[in-house]
């Protein structure tokens, strides 16, 4: 196993955010954590990347216990993260942002830079533009590209679809598949469960700080409970959290055939869900 | 959506100057540097002084006691606030540590000026680390409050400590030893002879420190350290994810800023020959910070201009008595409305402010600025 998360507990003050999460990510996989707001997805990622300290439990990466390792050293060990809300450096240009991604490394980064520009041609067009003046989609591309500059073994992505227009969500997800195809393991956190399950190999369902289900992603797409809670299909079953907690699900679920699409369908970009309930439509950058 | 024009800065843009500078050949830059230094050395001249200072006050003393010190302190605070984005409201503490170190070691242990100078700089840097180590886990407003407290702790400790004579302070601090009796021909200035009567040699000493500080800080800014500070200022969590040891670099910013402040304290104490806690009030921290922000935090020329203006204007208009504080306050408010990025901001800093988080005291939250939507909608 490349990454083993072993019964971790994390607290914000006295409030327990994670109450014993265990998960595994094998080399070459795309693994996704899905769940409602407050389920602990982001906290799990932050704990893996070292931004949050553990209360108990352990995290092993490439066979080594990294539970006590500070965040900046985990980058060198091979964990790269694109943080929630993108975390682009607003005053730095696109190229400076990307070079910051390689901060921990020494040597020549022109090869990685060229690769990122190839994955995201839009970034190449905007090399010298300040990161803060870019649209939401471009910032997301920049955040992912920046994380890739460190040549991570595993790439942690925190809600890459957040606030993006449907068309752009498709594009980002197909790029994630491409990144994985080129050999980077991906741990993906998403509220957009149907999209995430379509590209992932395996998935964990999180609820109030615990893992309630783990299975191959394709199985979860058909799971009646998951469909009821996260994909908006049928009300016959309930998983702990009522469906209203994830309001975007109702809008996201397309016709049944949509959800049963073969894995990787998103990568082709042919199937577009009718509505993907973007929260901030005005950030669609396709026009700019 | 609202106030898309609210952020637009009023008045002149310095972008043409910046572009000229960026494309200027190396020798042209050196000529400008040399002219600036020569200009700084000529400042105490009587012809300039008659305009800069009202008839009753001593222009050379104003330069050495106020302006020179403030510019040096501004450069030091700029490392902490402008470059690393850590809001420090207790910067006067390091100035005090520098001053008290020379006072104690020169009067009680009879150390020479130059060895106390080194010691004071080290002591101030250590004070910076001591303050930083427990508090730099805090962010934004919380850090500001703790540093504000630290400034007061240092002053109150000096005020209540018998070892340093409490509120009476320490007297009889020796002047720096004269390096040479050499006189500049035709000017009757002995620039390296430090005495009671002539303020100019102290001003030249400050100019020397200021130039050193500028070279040092500028070199840091263009290095890996400077890039690390910029990333911490813009998004601390993201910086850590890039592999920047954020805590270490924040501590370094505190120590370097403190060391520069400490050197200011040494010159101040040696010039005055006596110090007391009354010289190290919160007002000094506030004024230096105002100078940094007003000038354009993060940009060295801007900070020098800002600190110069803030220390000079209130002295220049002394005849307005208490009204000048009122005018001064109004001017600061007007400045923050019409040109919030400062008189002479750096390009990067301007982009940060337009985005909304602005670095200083953002606490890692994504706060959309009024300018953000305007940029996206375009």
Predicted confidence pLDDT, tens digits, chain A (288 residues): 899 999 999 999 889 999 999 999 999 999 999 988 889 999 999 999 999 999 999 999 999 999 999 999 999 999 999 998 888 999 999 999 999 999 988 888 899 999 999 999 999 999 999 998 898 889 999 999 999 999 999 999 999 998 888 889 999 999 999 999 999 999 999 988 888 999 999 999 999 999 999 999 989 888 888 888 877 765 444 444 444 444 444 444 444 444 344 444 444 444 444 444 444 444 444 443
pLDDT on residue A176: 95
Nearest-neighbour CA in chain A from B377: distance (Å): 8
- Has residue B78 been placed in a domain? yes
Instruction: Report yes or no: B22 at the A interface, CB cutoff 8 Å.
Output: no
pLDDT at B188 over 60: yes
Residue A132 DSSP SS3: helix
Cβ–Cβ of B243/A150 closer than 8 Å?
yes
- Has residue B373 been placed in a domain? no
pLDDT band for B75, please (50, 70, 90 cuts): very high
pLDDT on residue B234: 92
pLDDT on residue A250: 42
pLDDT on residue B350: 80
Higher pLDDT, B50 or A22: A22
Cβ–Cβ of B355/A90 closer than 8 Å?
yes
Select from A75, A130, A132 the Cβ nearest to the Cβ of B242: A75
Range of the domain at A192: 3-231
pLDDT on residue B191: 78
> Could you tell me the CATH number of the domain that includes residue A129?
3.40.50.300
- Has residue B24 been placed in a domain? no
pLDDT on residue B9: 56
Range of the domain at B252: 64-181+188-363
Q: What is the pLDDT of residues B302-330, one digit of tens each?
A: 999 999 998 888 888 877 777 877 888 88
Q: Which residues of B touch A73 (CB under 8 A)?
A: 243
Cβ–Cβ of A103/B243 closer than 8 Å?
yes
Chain mean position to CA B150: 18
Separation between Cα atoms, residue B260 and residue B267, nearest integer Å: 11
Separation between Cα atoms, residue B299 and residue B78, nearest integer Å: 8
Cβ–Cβ of B234/A75 closer than 8 Å?
no
* DSSP label of B137: T
- Report chain A residues touching chain B, CB-CB < 8 A: 49-51, 70-73, 75-76, 80-81, 83, 85, 87-92, 100-101, 103-105, 130-133, 135-136, 146-147, 150, 282-283, 285, 288
- Has residue B135 been placed in a domain? yes
* pTM summary value: 0.82
Instruction: Report yes or no: B378 at the A interface, CB cutoff 8 Å.
Output: yes
Q: Which of A53, A72, A82, A162 to mutate: most B Cβ within 10 Å? A: A72
pLDDT on residue B8: 52
pLDDT on residue B182: 78
Whether ipTM tops 0.85, in short, is: no
B81 touches B250 (CB < 8 A): no
Cβ–Cβ of A90/B230 closer than 8 Å?
no
What's the structural domain count of chain B?
1
Q: Which of A71, A73, A90, A165 to mutate: most B Cβ within 10 Å? A: A90
Q: Which residues of A touch B296 (CB under 8 A)?
A: none
Nearest-neighbour CA in chain B from A12: distance (Å): 15
Q: Which of B228, B242, B371, B374 to mutate: most A Cβ within 10 Å? A: B242
* Lowest-confidence pick of A250-259, B171-180, B313-322, B346-355: A250-259
Nearest-neighbour CA in chain B from A227: distance (Å): 32
User: Which among A238, A120, A115, A214 has a CA at the least distance from the CA of A172?
Assistant: A120
pLDDT on residue A151: 92
- Has residue A261 been placed in a domain? no
> In this structure, how many other beta carbons lie within 10 angstroms of the beta carbon of residue A241?
18
Percentage of chain B with pLDDT > 90? 52
Separation between Cα atoms, residue A48 and residue A71, nearest integer Å: 9
Mean pLDDT of B291-301: 90
Higher pLDDT, A101 or B7: A101
Residue B364 DSSP SS3: coil
- Has residue A280 been placed in a domain? no
Instruction: Report yes or no: B374 at the A interface, CB cutoff 8 Å.
Output: no
Q: What is the pLDDT of residues B257-284, one digit of tens each?
A: 999 999 999 999 999 999 999 999 999 9
Q: Which residues of B touch A51 (CB under 8 A)?
A: 237, 240-241
- Has residue B321 been placed in a domain? yes
pLDDT band for B4, please (50, 70, 90 cuts): very low
pLDDT on residue B10: 61
Q: Which residues contact B362 (CB under 8 A, 6 or more apart)?
A: B85, B140
pLDDT band for B158, please (50, 70, 90 cuts): very high
Cβ–Cβ of B243/A132 closer than 8 Å?
no
pLDDT on residue B248: 95
Chain mean position to CA A20: 21
pLDDT on residue A222: 87
The angle subtended at Cα B233 by Cα B228 and Cα B235, nearest 5°, is: 90
Give the pairing of strands A56-61 and A30-35.
Answer: unpaired
- Has residue B355 been placed in a domain? yes
What's the structural domain count of chain A?
1
Mean pLDDT in chain B? 85
pLDDT on residue A152: 94
């Amino acid at each position: 196993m490349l990454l083993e998360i072993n019964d971790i507990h994390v607290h914000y003050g006295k409030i327990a955010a994670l109450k014993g999460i265990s998960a595994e990510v094998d080399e070459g996989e795309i693994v996704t954590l899905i769940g409602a707001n407050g389920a602990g997805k982001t906290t799990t990622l932050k704990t893996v990347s070292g931004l949050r300290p553990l209360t108990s439990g352990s995290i092993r990466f490439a066979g080594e216990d990294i539970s006590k390792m500070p965040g900046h050293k985990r980058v060198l060990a091979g964990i790269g993260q694109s943080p929630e809300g993108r975390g682009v450096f607003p005053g730095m240009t696109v190229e400076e942002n990307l070079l910051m991604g390689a901060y921990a490394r020494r040597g020549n980064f022109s090869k990685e830079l060229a690769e990122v520009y190839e994955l995201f041609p839009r970034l190449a067009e905007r090399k010298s533009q300040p990161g803060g003046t870019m649209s939401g989609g471009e910032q997301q591309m920049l955040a992912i590209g920046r994380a890739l500059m460190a040549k991570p073994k595993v790439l942690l992505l925190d809600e890459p679809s957040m606030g993006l227009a449907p068309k752009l969500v498709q594009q980002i997800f197909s790029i994630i598949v491409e990144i994985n195809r080129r050999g980077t393991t991906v741990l993906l956190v998403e509220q957009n469960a149907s999209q995430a399950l379509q590209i992932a190999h395996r998935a964990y369902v999180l609820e109030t700080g615990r893992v309630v289900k783990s299975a191959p992603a394709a199985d979860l797409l058909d799971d009646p409970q998951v469909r009821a809670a996260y994909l908006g299909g049928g009300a016959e079953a309930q998983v702990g959290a009522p469906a209203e907690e994830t309001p975007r699900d109702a809008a996201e679920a397309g016709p049944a055939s949509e959800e049963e699409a073969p894995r990787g369908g998103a990568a082709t970009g042919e199937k577009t869900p009718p509505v993907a309930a973007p929260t901030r439509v005005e950030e669609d950058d396709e026009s700019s | 959506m609202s106030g898309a024009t609210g952020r637009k800065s009023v008045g002149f843009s310095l972008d043409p100057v910046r572009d000229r500078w960026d494309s200027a050949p190396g020798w042209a830059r050196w000529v400008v540097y040399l002219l600036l230094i020569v200009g700084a050395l000529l400042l105490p001249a009587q012809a300039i002084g008659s305009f800069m200072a009202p008839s009753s006050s001593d222009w050379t003393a104003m330069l050495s006691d106020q302006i020179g010190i403030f510019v040096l302190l501004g450069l030091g605070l700029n490392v902490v606030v402008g470059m690393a984005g850590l809001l420090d409201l207790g910067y006067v503490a390091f100035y005090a540590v520098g001053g008290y170190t020379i006072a104690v070691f020169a009067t009680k242990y009879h150390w020479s000026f130059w060895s106390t100078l080194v010691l004071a700089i080290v002591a101030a840097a250590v004070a910076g680390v001591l303050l930083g180590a427990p508090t730099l886990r805090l962010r934004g407003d919380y850090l500001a409050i703790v540093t504000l407290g630290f400034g007061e702790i240092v002053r109150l400790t000096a005020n209540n400590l018998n070892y340093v004579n409490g509120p009476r302070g320490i007297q009889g601090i020796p002047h720096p030893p004269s390096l040479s009796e050499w006189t500049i021909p035709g000017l009757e200035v002995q620039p390296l002879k430090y005495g009671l009567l002539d303020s100019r040699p102290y001003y030249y000493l400050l100019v020397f420190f200021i130039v050193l500080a500028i070279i040092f800080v500028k070199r840091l800014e263009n290095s890996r350290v400077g890039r690390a500070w910029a990333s911490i200022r813009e998004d601390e969590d993201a910086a850590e994810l890039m592999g920047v040891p954020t805590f270490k670099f924040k501590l370094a910013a505190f120590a370097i800023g403190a060391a520069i402040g400490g050197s200011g304290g040494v010159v101040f104490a040696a010039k005055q020959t006596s110090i007391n806690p009354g010289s190290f009030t919160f007002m000094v921290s506030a004024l230096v910070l105002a100078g940094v922000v007003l000038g354009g935090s993060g940009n060295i020329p801007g900070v020098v201009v800002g600190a110069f203006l803030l220390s000079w204007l209130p002295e220049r208009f002394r005849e307005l008595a208490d009204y000048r504080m009122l005018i001064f306050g109004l001017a600061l408010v007007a400045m923050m409305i019409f040109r919030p990025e400062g008189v002479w901001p750096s390009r990067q800093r301007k982009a940060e402010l337009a985005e909304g988080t602005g670095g200083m005291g953002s606490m890692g939250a994504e706060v959309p600025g009024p300018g953000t939507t305007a940029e996206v909608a375009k």
